[in-house]
Structure 1
């Protein structure tokens, strides 16, 4: 016979609420009483309240899903993503909320309904397959998008456009009229290789792409000085990885004319670019100036120290968690400041 809370309560002569507290709210009972209840439950073979049934009654599981655009593995390698995850988990820990990590690959959901367990969703970056977004939004649960916008869904973004514009303004002053190149992170909608942007390439939408917003910021700074950024001086890079930055920078620096400034859409790309320049015998910042984006921890300790744009990743994670839990004072879209940090590389 399957035992219930009532059976244990009857056996001990206590209320069902008291038995329930012994399993889920031990701080509400004395140590002796809780020990007596748990001992009797063990003797009778009762393993505690049914969590699934309880969640069905309350309509809550105490779980928020974090939908990650990149491979799950990538988010534990990339310092920007890990700082965001740190901020989210800090608030979830405080509120006793579970975190469910989900990929954004459409094939994951074909025979899987694990996302139905979530009380809400934080979508970190735009999924490449829109069907994943449709699946989440149609549930009608609290949802926050991070680093992109979605109609009728609250968003949390870094001010990528103005951060990039400030970086480009600073770099252009340093090189005056010298040539420059951009190492752009996933600015193409369909490309998994490192290479120059071609005129017929389809750029990602500025409403869905952090990189497109940064590219538009670079171009805005150039337009202020009556200059333009031709596509042939923009290298698309599929992931923020040191080796990709090295490869793209080496190609750019072997071009004619050789760039005097590299605007890199991540610090990891910038660090790879600095290594490529040094291997080519160039001195930084005398022969080449480099500006990154993100302000990861190693940016300040690199030699030369990296000029970059700081984005508050921990705070972004904390705010995303507060927004989806209804703890934030923000009731509309949120745009966090991106601030230029000037160091030795430019």
Structure 2
């Protein structure tokens, strides 16, 4: 009996994946038309674009290769946002979140992506900056000695700094922190306060919590805090308050818990203060929690002020400086993504507004 080889089912021949060229040939249009359907849909009629996309789905065309496109155009199609914190900070801090929203709105308009690049305090590893596939950077509130910031500038890509530091030849978006802080001091002075304490955000990259002398205030690598403390000092000194008698406490972390610890440290240095100034709303709200724990009333026993104007603080009617954090993000995005961008070292200074709330009143008699 003759034997026959065992016949196996032959695998079906698979159609090669469609390419931009084969898709264009299939539907009788140019390759530019297919490319525009993905990258510049406003250049096509809705009917033509729908025809291209339907054919692409039918033939299994996945769309233009982003790697090939970036090699061809030398554009990554993304903006890098450099943060001095872990990535989660951008979604926990209210002011940072508002800034992020504003920047994202401009990226959406320009049809580019956004890459978050963390620069943790104390870390000197700049590989994330060096390897980031982006067309430019926005640096959000950096100390002047941060190696990540200098790594950004060394890449010679377009860059915009938000808040700090102000560097010659680099675009900056921010506010007049010193003038805004001085308004807080003048507000408290007009109410009659002369015995005050201050809780401020970190002044340097190394972890440190506790009292701050004048030298550290004036040499702070975080310029925003340096300017806010200088504005407070100018306002109180003008009213005859000796600044070297004012307890100033630095907190490395920016959280409600840090605000509470800072308030406790100030009160340990001077239990008789009648006003407590925090250089952010988050620290101010934490300080209020510590005062409530001590059964000290706000503002009857201690007035409290903040800075930023975040929604939670405004809901509490905290006396604070309101700054346009969302607009900061939008302005930073516009400067970076400006297609006609030629100038360098531009400055955008946005307005602020002192907003008195229910947390300040004349000192107790």
TMscore range, shorter length:
0.7 to 0.9
Q: CA deviation at 1:276?
A: 1.5
Mapped to 2, the partners of 1:171 and 1:47 lie a distance apart of 63
Match of 2:32 in 1: 17
Match of 1:156 in 2: 173
Secondary structure, counterpart of 2:108 in structure 1: helix
The reply on whether 1:5 has 2:46 as its aligned counterpart is no
Match of 1:143 in 2: 159
- Aligned equivalent of 1:239, options 253, 270, 282: 253
| 1:50–1:257 distance in 2 versus 1, CA, 3 Å | closer
| 1:41–1:291 distance in 2 versus 1, CA, 3 Å | closer
Match of 1:183 in 2: 199
| 1:207–1:10 distance in 2 versus 1, CA, 3 Å | same
Secondary structure, counterpart of 1:274 in structure 2: helix
| 1:68–1:176 distance in 2 versus 1, CA, 3 Å | closer
Q: CA deviation at 1:111?
A: 7.1
Q: How does 1:311-322 map to 2 (within 5 A)?
A: 311-322=323-334
Mapped to 2, the partners of 1:240 and 1:112 lie a distance apart of 24
Unaligned segments of structure 2, at least 5 residues: 1-15, 361-365
Q: CA deviation at 1:4?
A: 4.1
Mapped to 1, the partners of 2:359 and 2:340 lie a distance apart of 38
Kept after mapping to 2: 8 A contact 1:188/1:204 = no
Mapped to 2, the partners of 1:50 and 1:257 lie a distance apart of 65
Q: CA deviation at 1:219?
A: 0.5
| 1:29–1:314 distance in 2 versus 1, CA, 3 Å | closer
Kept after mapping to 1: 8 A contact 2:203/2:222 = no
Q: CA deviation at 1:68?
A: 1.0
Match of 2:226 in 1: 212
Render the CA deviation track for 1:242-300: whole Å, top value 9, x for unaligned.
11111121232244452111011011111111222222222222211111111111223
Secondary structure, counterpart of 1:230 in structure 2: helix
Mapped to 2, the partners of 1:61 and 1:341 lie a distance apart of 42
TM-score (norm 1): 0.87
How big is the alpha-carbon RMSD for the aligned residues of Structure 1 and Structure 2?
2.9
Match of 1:132 in 2: 148
Q: How does 1:44-123 map to 2 (within 5 A)?
A: 46-105=61-120, 109-110=126-127, 113-115=130-132, 117-123=133-139
Q: How does 1:209-288 map to 2 (within 5 A)?
A: 209-230=223-244, 233-288=247-302
